[in-house]
Amino acid sequence: MMDFDFANWWLILRRIAGEPFRWKRKLFLYGVFLALSVFSAATFVGLALDRIFYPRFRRVRIAGPVFIVGNGRSGTTHMHRLLAGDARRFSWFRTWEMLLPSIVQRRLVHGLAALDRRLLGGRIARRLRSTEDAVFADVRGKHNWRLDGPEEDDFLLFNNWSSGSLVFPFDYAELIGQLYGDRQSETARRRQFRFYRGLVQRQLYLYGSDRIHCCKSPSFTMKIRALREYFPDARFVMMMRHPAESIPSLVDLMSWYWRGFGSPPEQVEAAAHALAEANVDNYRFMAELSDELPADRCAVVDYRALCRDPKAAVEAVYARFGFTPTPEYTAFLEREREAAASFVSGHDYDPEGQGPGRARLHRELAPLYARFGWEP
């Protein structure tokens, strides 16, 4: 349990207890808190059992992982989904695996799924997919949540309560500090990334140690130096989108979630402000790191280029990292290029509504505006 972040767990519990009583809000908060605590306890039991039943996972070498970073709403999810299409090359975590990350847990799920297919003709799986589609119907226009789809690796850190994404269900501005990797103590960084590295080793043990782990996580953007410490040969794909588009879009999306969770307006406003400031710092950090990282370890992708021609954008990343796409993957990218021509986002937001403001962004991020030709 040494990698459990008790300080975060206790902070969230105190903040929940301190909120004014509104029964729907309290029911939601305590329900999520209890559910995550139960999943966390089950995870640590599962991880301990892994060491007994599957000790060889610790010998797995994580070679040249790829981390897709950048601000939220900058194309990280799209790029991750495109790279996940090269299933022979890459490994990634599916959404359901985030809360069941141990080998023991997933072998159990795989066994139950096999029984469902053999004895029930997949009836339970179909019911789960139907329920999932109903639950996420409203959300998928803004973010394409799927239980079996690739998702953000930072969610894995829900299991030890060190994730910056804890601010998603618990909109407490203090949790935004989890995004600032360079400001955290060595103990905090070690707790996060020793835990995370063990989960990636298990993933590769399950799906093939010859694969390259591919992670998408905007929450890892200001943790690149820590990632390089634990994964020395890591490669980074930095997604760049005009900050006056990405920041208001992200803040609007998260505020929409928080309001839906029953959070009081002043709390939503405080968390939104802290998130917007962190995203401005994200841009500064990426500008600095894009010059610091070796050229063969960093690919900077313009969001406009990704939207215009995803095939060309991915091929440029492959060329930078020395990958050769297979004919099957090239055909997949061609289909994605055709689909991109007719794609329309389901997320409508007011670009002037939330965030630091266009004038300030232009002033403080002027070198990036010049580099990418962004209009002020």
| Angle (CA) 50 165 359, round 5° | 150
Residue 340 CA from chain centroid, whole number: 22
CB atoms near residue 356 (< 10 Å): 20
Highest mean pLDDT pick, 2-6, 18-22, 345-349, 353-357: 18-22
Q: What pLDDT, on a 0 to 100 scale, did the predictor assign at position 258?
A: 96
> E strand or H helix at 273, and its extent?
helix 265-292
**Cα(37)–Cα(11) distance, rounded to whole angstroms?**
14
Residues 276 and 48: beta-carbon distance below 8 Å: no
- b/e sequence 121-158, b meaning 16+ C-beta within 10 Å: eeeeeeebeeebeeeeeeeeebeeebbeebbbbbbbbb
Please report, as a single letter, which amino acid is at residue 209: S
Dihedral (Cα; 173, 356, 151, 161), 10-degree rounding = -10
Q: What is the pTM of this model?
A: 0.92
- DSSP conformation class of 72: T
Q: What pLDDT, on a 0 to 100 scale, did the predictor assign at position 174?
A: 93
Average pLDDT over residues 191-218: 97
pLDDT tens-digit series, residues 299-340: 999 999 999 999 999 999 999 999 999 999 999 999 999 998
Average pLDDT over residues 127-154: 79
- Pairing verdict, β 212-216 and 235-240: unpaired
pLDDT tens-digit series, residues 35-66: 999 999 999 999 999 999 999 999 999 999 99
The CB-side HSE value for 128 (13 A sphere, CA atoms) comes to 10
Q: What is the mean pLDDT of the chain?
A: 92
pLDDT tens-digit series, residues 61-85: 999 999 999 998 899 999 999 999 9
* Domain formed by 6-372, architecture: 3-Layer(aba) Sandwich (3.40)
